[in-house]
Structure 1
Amino acid sequence: MKILKFPFINILLVGLFLMQINIPIHAEAEGLPSYVKWGRIAMTKAQEKYPNSEVTDYLHVGKEDKKGTSVEKFKLIVKNDQKEIGVFVNLTFDTRTERLLSVDMEETKP
């Protein structure tokens, strides 16, 4: 059995190596715009309403801040059986807790 003379240095080097791996992943996650989370929710809600469809495109229209709530607005393109429709999706949420309060959808031209 080989006894390591400097185990602390080995642990430190391994720890530093692992930190270097994790930093870029963490930085990328923080660098994403806040609407990305809401865009994923909008696509999920659209797929629930149009179950045999596919969201082929989405556009973040904007964000509206109200007193205590915010509304993230998206326009999605949903394809179902060779037919495309546009769907405006407005997600209203509590600004402080980010709890989803309501989902409003309206069909439009693609």
Structure 2
Amino acid sequence: MVAILLTITFATPTDAQPPYAKWGRIAMQETKQKYPHEQIVDYLHVGRIQKTPTTSEETFKLLLQEGNRRRALLVHIEFESRTEKVVRISFEETRV
């Protein structure tokens, strides 16, 4: 007699990552490289726009802190829509 053990895993909505998660990780990694002495204390996905027929842009707002000083930073990640290859990453300081 052969016993077969099946394990079925059901994904719940809380397990699913949003479509912008990959870009959020990139935004935080690049910010840590550019601002190594500041901590990221908050994170917001602003949205995605279609820049050209072939490129899109994800924007994130990160709140950085160094000591008592806080600043807000917009991180724009432009990428090829079809291949998701990063074209450009830019940083823009904004109001907290």
TM-score by length of structure 2 reads 0.87
SS, match of residue 29 in structure 2: helix
Q: In the alignment, what sits opposite 1:61?
A: 46
Cα distance in 1 for residues equivalent to 2:90 and 2:38: 18
SS, match of residue 71 in structure 1: strand
What are structure 1's unaligned runs of at least 5 residues? 1-5
AA of the residue aligned to 1:86: A
1:96 aligned onto 2:45: no
How far apart are 1:81 and its partner, in Å? 2.2
Alignment root-mean-square deviation, CA: 1.7
Indicate the structure with greater strand content.
Answer: 2
4+ aligned runs moved over 2 Å, structure 1: none
Indicate the structure with greater helix content.
Answer: 1
What are structure 2's unaligned runs of at least 5 residues? none
How far apart are 1:95 and its partner, in Å? 0.7
How far apart are 1:94 and its partner, in Å? 0.8
AA of the residue aligned to 1:33: P
Q: How many matched pairs?
A: 94
- Higher-Rg structure is 1
